[in-house]
Amino acid sequence: MVVGDLVSIITPTYNHAPYIGACIDRVKAQRYPHWELFVLDDGSPDGTAAVAERHADGDSRIHVWRREHKGPERLVELYNHGLERSRGAFVAILEGDDYWPDDKLQVQLQAFEPDAVMSFGLCRVVQPDEAFMYVAPRISTVPTAARSNRPAGAALHELLRLHNFVPAVTAMVRRDALERIGGFQSGHGMVQVDLATWCHLALEGPFQFIDHELGFWRRHEHSITTTRVAQMARSRHRFMTAFLSAHRARIEALIELDEAQLTAAWAHTMHPFGLLWKQGRRHMIFGEFSAAQTTFLAAMKEATTATEWVRATVAWLASTLRVDLLTMARSLINSR
């Protein structure tokens, strides 16, 4: 239990004027009072910074900073600027269009294990119509060793296959662990910071999963995870290749690498069929059935094997029936 320690909250934001007020208000509503919030605006033209300053309302714990727009490929610079300015022993991530339940910091700090470098929990997606459903991590599909990163490096079995099972909106990291890896990490052209940072942290010590809702991830048509799926996949592939090359000896000392599995996972993610399949599955998970229909139809045309064509066809039929058969099947299997 580490209650009493200061938590530094890093909030990168861009064109989040409709959401940043609620984001800040939910931080102010936290039951745990020992926090500082750094709202870091990437030159939003929609007045995001002005809205943030209004909602800060003279609270000395809230700091709003604005830079000229540099784009999501340089998002990691915002994260590390916030890290450099902050003082907390713990660092939490809250992007400007997301928000937290009121007990987030309290629950997480009370449960934080002494040897864990990072903890995370369940999150929900929030759609534009305010419909809710559980999203990542689908923790039942993640092996216990990977989930807890015990022994150190075990999480890389999943992370290296591009399975990011740690929702950034729920993550809290020890500052000293972040400093050991040189701050938040990214790769050339990457439009996200979380996966690269988790890979580096996996070499530092255990993770901790807390079975509690610790964040709300807002999904909307302008989200990077909605608009830049192909770019995200390609940049993550480049990062993973570089990360594995740079740290191979250390990784192999911790875990046994399955090179064939990695190659297959990366090839699937980079292939047009793989990209379309992933986007279609995302639409299905979020109940966006019409978009899923269009995406799976495109995937059928990009299929290079009979198996891929059958998968896309079944998925297209499921989207037409507005039933997520894959998630239902996984739920049945996991309930046995």
Higher pLDDT, 231 or 8: 8
Residues 22-72 have pLDDT tens digits of 999 999 999 999 999 999 999 999 999 999 999 998 899 999 999 999 988
Q: What is the mean pLDDT of residues 158-173?
A: 91
Higher pLDDT, 99 or 228: 99
Give residue 126's pLDDT band: very low, low, confident or very high (50, 70, 90).
confident
Residues 109-122 have pLDDT tens digits of 999 999 999 999 99
- CA 22 – CA 41 distance, rounded (Å): 16
State which H helix or E strand residue 209 sits in: strand 207-218
Residue 243 has pLDDT above 60, yes or no: yes
User: CA angle at residue 275 from 220 to 301, to 5 degrees?
Assistant: 115
Q: Give the pLDDT of residue 220.
A: 58
Peptide bond into 151 cis (omega under 30): yes
Percent of the chain with pLDDT over 70: 87
On whether the CB atoms of residues 53 and 80 are closer than 8 A, the answer is no
Residue 229 has pLDDT above 80, yes or no: no
Where do the H-state alpha helices sit in the chain? 20-28, 48-56, 75-85, 104-111, 144-148, 156-159, 175-180, 194-201, 224-227, 229-254, 259-270, 272-285, 289-302, 306-321, 325-335
The two three-digit tokens of residue 218, written as one number: 């807002």
Contacts of 161 (CB under 8 A, 6+ apart): 261, 262, 265, 266
Average pLDDT of the residues of the chain: 87
Residues 306-324 have pLDDT tens digits of 998 999 999 999 999 888 7
Provide the pairing of β-strand 118-126 with 132-134. Answer: antiparallel
Q: Give the pLDDT of residue 335.
A: 47
- CA 320 – CA 174 distance, rounded (Å): 46
On whether the CB atoms of residues 264 and 162 are closer than 8 A, the answer is no
Q: Give the pLDDT of residue 275.
A: 75
- CA 216 – CA 100 distance, rounded (Å): 6
